[in-house]
Amino acid sequence: MGIEVRHVSKTFGQFRSLDDVSFSVASGELVALLGPSGSGKTTLLRIIAGLEQADAGTVLLEDSDATHVNARDRGVGFVFQHYALFRHLTVFENVAFGLRVRPRGRRPTEAVIQEKVHKLLALVQLDYLGKRYPRQLSGGQRQRVALARALAVEPNVLLLDEPFGALDAKVRQELRRWLRRLHEDIRLTSVFVTHDQEEALELADRVVIMNQGRIEQQGSPEEVFERPATAFVMNFLGSVNIFHGRVEDGRAFLGPLAVDSPEHAGQPPQPATGYARPHELDLGRADTGGGLWARITDLNTTGAVVKVELTDDEGRLIQVQLGRDAYTELLPTAGERLYVTLKRVRVFLKDEKP
């Protein structure tokens, strides 16, 4: 096991940042810690790195207890959100830093340092910038220098705090792909923190979703996206339509909608909420039952999918995404009244709400 976190809790003053969190990362795995701000994900990352001490719980790195090991001896590479490059050192010296501060016995010779740093700079495609200072680099370049610097000490695990947070959309896309390829090449146990669900789902082998200091769900991107364990996860992983109602005898009655809900069959009647993603709704011109009528208030036909916004008679806003084919078949127009049906809905009981 690359990283194992067991029952870690952390409080800052009155604020409970982490509440009995346990999870593990297999060797060579790339895991995303995903959550809104204040969910404790960065604190968790800092505890793994040893930059923060947990109030309770243990951290194991490469199967040995690292809970009380100093950050400098943990053998982790850490990439800070704002890179934290040493501004008075050149790019080359930034990357060489971790090698130069080693105790005399373990410090490589100058020739070895030169070779190694050049190799790392080549890996991050910045060898030609070795003599520049951090302030002369673009954000994406700084990010890669920070990564090379972290890799220079040959860490057992790599931790990245919002690695693409401070970059603009296009650079972010490129770096994301590049990091994924790099990870496939070097297979270093890695954890990155992000609040961007798209980034987490696209990049990670496994996603750990956090909320209010707790882990809501962990699993592969498909798993958490297709089978969200809680209403929070459903809500957080993309836009969603929410229908309030109740479950009774294995059926959910969500306003005018009625669907089967077999997983709640044995339970007494109680309030529940249905969640459906925009692409899980269908539009038609005929009342086929179990659906509701709504008027199109906004229609956006630019892009790979057509985004339709409707308002039903009770003023409820409904978002629908149609594939291009379904759109050309139906050809809805703004202001038209259409029949909305659910292809799929997930029902969570009221007390499961975030």
Partner 1 sequence: MAGYVSAHRQGSATLPRRRLTEPALVRWTLIGIALAFLALFLAVPLVMVFSEAFAKGVDAYWAALEDPDALSAIRLTLFVAAIAVPSNLIFGISAGWAIAKFRFPGRNLLITLIDLPFAVSPVISGLVFVLLFGRRGWFGPWLFDHDIKIVFAVPGIVLATIFVSFPFIAREIIPVMEASGTEEEEAARVLGASGLQTFFRVTLPNIKWGLLYGVILCNARAMGEFGAVSVVSGHVRGRTNTMPLHVEILYNEYNFQAAFAVASVLALLALVTLVAKAVIERRLARSLAAHDETAAPESA
Nearer to partner 1, 142 or 206 (CB): 142
Instruction: Check binding of 121 to partner 1 (CB under 8 A).
Output: no
Instruction: Check binding of 234 to partner 1 (CB under 8 A).
Output: no
Least distance (Å) between residue 75 CB and partner 1: 9
Q: How far apart are CA 126 and CA 142, in angstroms?
A: 10
Neighbouring CB atoms inside 10 A of 149's CB total 27
Q: How far apart are CA 293 and CA 289, in angstroms?
A: 11
Q: Quick one: CA dihedral 132, 138, 141, 142, positive or negative?
A: positive
Nearer to partner 1, 112 or 265 (CB): 112
Q: Quick one: CA dihedral 344, 261, 227, 229, positive or negative?
A: positive
Least distance (Å) between residue 195 CB and partner 1: 15
Instruction: Check binding of 85 to partner 1 (CB under 8 A).
Output: yes
Binding partner 1 by CB under 8 A: which of 2, 35, 40, 77?
Answer: 77
Non-local (6+) Cβ contacts of 176 within 8 A are 164, 199, 202, 203
Least distance (Å) between residue 335 CB and partner 1: 25
Compute CA distances 158 → 12, 76, 242, 268, whole Å.
25, 6, 38, 48
Task: Tell me which stretch binds partner 1 (CB under 8 A): 44-52, 194-202, 203-211, 224-232.
Answer: 44-52
Nearer to partner 1, 96 or 237 (CB): 96
Binding partner 1 by CB under 8 A: which of 2, 35, 40, 134?
Answer: 134
Nearer to partner 1, 149 or 183 (CB): 149
Least distance (Å) between residue 62 CB and partner 1: 16
Q: How far apart are CA 136 and CA 204, in angstroms?
A: 31
Binding partner 1 by CB under 8 A: which of 26, 56, 101, 334?
Answer: 101
Q: Are 47 and 54 in contact (CB under 8 A)?
A: yes
Instruction: Check binding of 108 to partner 1 (CB under 8 A).
Output: no
Q: Are 19 and 12 in contact (CB under 8 A)?
A: no
Task: Tell me which stretch binds partner 1 (CB under 8 A): 93-101, 192-200, 286-294, 334-342.
Answer: 93-101
Instruction: Check binding of 69 to partner 1 (CB under 8 A).
Output: no
Phi, psi dihedrals of residue 111, rounded to the nearest 5°: -65, -40
Sheet holding 76-79, edge to edge: 76-79, 157-161, 189-194, 30-34, 206-211, 214-219
Instruction: Check binding of 68 to partner 1 (CB under 8 A).
Output: no
Helix, strand or coil for residue 155?
A: coil
Binding partner 1 by CB under 8 A: which of 49, 66, 209, 259?
Answer: 49
Residues making contact with partner 1 (CB under 8 A): 49-51, 70-74, 76-78, 80, 82, 84-88, 97-98, 101-102, 134-135, 138-142, 149-150, 152-153, 165-168, 171
